Amino acid sequence: MVVPLDAGVDPVVATRSGRVRGVRRPGSFAFRGIPYAAAPVGPLRFGRPAPHPGWSGVRDATRNGPTPSLGPTTDTYSIPEPVVPGEQILNLNVFTPTLDGGARLPVYVWIHGGGFVGGSPGGPWFDGAAFNADGVVTVAITYRLGFEGYGHVPGAQENRALRDCISALEWVQENIAAFGGDPGRVTLGGQSAGGGAALALLAAPAAQDLFGAAIVHSAPLPDIRIADAVGQSAVMARLCGVENTWDSWREVPREQIVAAERSLDRADLWSAVRDLHRILGTSAPLTAFGPVIDDDLVPVEPLAAFSAGTGAAKPVLIGATSHEFNGVTAHVDRFLAQGFAGAILVGLGVPAVLARAYPRAYPDFSPAELLGQAVTNRVFRIPTVRVALARTATSGATPPVPGAAARPGAGPMAPTWLWDFRWRSAATGRSPHCLDLPFAWHVLDAERVTRIAGTDPPLPLADHMHGEIVRFITEGTVGWEPFRPEAPVAHVFDEESVTGRDPFRFERLALQAVDDD
C-alpha cells in the first residue's frame, strides 16, 4: 500500500490549466470535476473538444463536476449516477494514493456505461479508493452522450464522444505525473457503453499512443455506419422541429434533445417485438447512438481492425456476466406460450438451428427469459468471443511491457484473457448486467449494491476479481491462460472460481450458426 504524503491541509496540485484543490481521505486523495477540455457550448457546441482556457487561483475540486447526463435522478437505477447541472460537462475525477511526482504508479482510466445516452462517473461505485489501496491511480471521465456525443450533425465531426475520451486521455498524459501516476502505464477500462467505447478506441489509430492495455466489461460491438447515423439525424431533426444543420443544432437546448432521444424508446408490445427482431435479426444497429464507423477516427469495423493488427501489442482483459439482459423481456412473458420459444426465436430472426438449441441449453428458463438470454448472447457474450477470435488471428504472441503504447500492427500480438462472471445474485437468482462492477471495484458496501447483489455478496469473490484486475493493471497479466482458438479457456468468477476449458462454448457454436446463416 502506498502511503499518502504530507498530513497537513487539503492537497493542491498544478495541472496544465491551473491549480486544483482536492480532499485528503484515509489512504488516498480525491480530486473531482477537473476540466480536461473547454465547455462545449456556444461556437464549440457539437465541435471537437477544445483546450480549456485555464483559470487563475486555485479551483475547487472537491465535488463532482457537471454531467452530460440530465437524469433520471431517481433511485430506480441499479448504479447510483449523480446528475450535476452546469456547462463544464467535460471533466474527470482523479483518485490517488500519493502526490509524489516520482512515484510513477500505474493508471486506470474508466469510461462509464449508460447505453450511450446516460450514466455518470461520480457515484460511489466508481470511487477509486480500493484501487488506490493497491497502488493504482484511478481516473473516471465524463463524455458527451446521445445525439450530442454520437449523432450525425452535417459539417461537424463524427464520434465527438470518442474524441472527448481521447482528449481526457491526452490530459492524463500531460498531467497524471503530478498525481503520482505514470503516463506510460495507462490501462483503459469501460463497461457496457463504456466498454463499447473502449473497443472503438482500441480500434482507432489516433488513440494508440494514449494507453497500453484495456479492460472491457460487457461491451457491445460498435456497429453504426455513416448511413445509419445520417438517417437517425434526420429523425432527430424532425422530432426536435429543427433544420438539420450545425448552426441550427447549436441553438437547441440539451433538454429538448434528450426528450427526443427518450421518445425513441416506446414500451408497447409492438415496439418490443420490433426491437427484438432488430436485435436478434442482426440486420440493424443495436442502438440509436454509439460509435460510428466513420472512415476517420474509427475507419473500419473494430473486428476487422483487430484482425489486421490494430491494438495488437496491447493486452486485453474482456468478459461478461452470464445473464446480462435476461430481464429486459419480462414484460412480454404473459404473451408467450410455453414450448414455443424456439419458433418465436426463429420468427425474430434467429437461425433455426440456434433457436432450437436455446430451450435445450437453458431448460429452466421461461420463454421470456429465453428471449432475454438470446439478447444477452447477441449483444454481449457473442461479441466477447468475436473480439477474442479477431485478436488471436495471429498466435504465438508474447505480452509487451505492461502499459507500453503500441501503433497499429506494431510489435508482438499481446494476449487476450476472457472471463465469465457467473455468480448468481440472491436478489435476482441470475447474474445480470452490472452485477460484476461492485466486485471489480471492491465496493460491496456502496449504495444500492444490495439491490442487485443481495444482502450478503461474497467478499472473497470481490477480493479475487478486484485482485486479478489490479494484477492486470500493474503487471499486464492475470492468473489464468490467455484465450486461443485451439484452447478457448476463460476464467469463471463465482463463489468457487475456476478456469474452464471452454466456458463460452454455447456462444462459440451460436457464432458459427449466425455466420453460417
Which residues are designated catalytic? 192, 324, 433
Q: Which of 136, 167, 134, 137 is nearest to 48 (CA)?
A: 167
Cell matching residue 390: 479477431
Integer Cα distance of 324 and 517 in angstroms: 24
CB-based burial of residue 487 (10 Å sphere; 0-12 exposed, 13-18 middle, 19+ buried)? exposed
- 490's enclosing H/E stretch is strand 490-493
Q: DSSP E strands: which ranges in 39-86? A: 58-60
Q: SS3 for 24? A: strand
Which residues touch 347 (CB under 8 Å, ≥6 apart)?
A: none
- 368's enclosing H/E stretch is helix 367-376
Q: Taking a C-beta distance cutoff of 8 angstroms, is the pair 477, 471 a contact?
A: yes
- 463's enclosing H/E stretch is helix 459-475
Integer Cα distance of 395 and 446 in angstroms: 41
Compute and round to an integer the Cα radius of gyration of the chain. Answer: 22
CB-based burial of residue 326 (10 Å sphere; 0-12 exposed, 13-18 middle, 19+ buried)? buried
Q: Taking a C-beta distance cutoff of 8 angstroms, is the pair 31, 146 a contact?
A: no
Which residues touch 122 (CB under 8 Å, ≥6 apart)?
A: 32, 64, 65, 67, 81, 82, 84, 93, 140
Q: Taking a C-beta distance cutoff of 8 angstroms, is the pair 386, 216 a contact?
A: no
Integer Cα distance of 146 and 144 in angstroms: 7
Q: Which of 190, 78, 207 is nearest to 142 (CA)?
A: 190
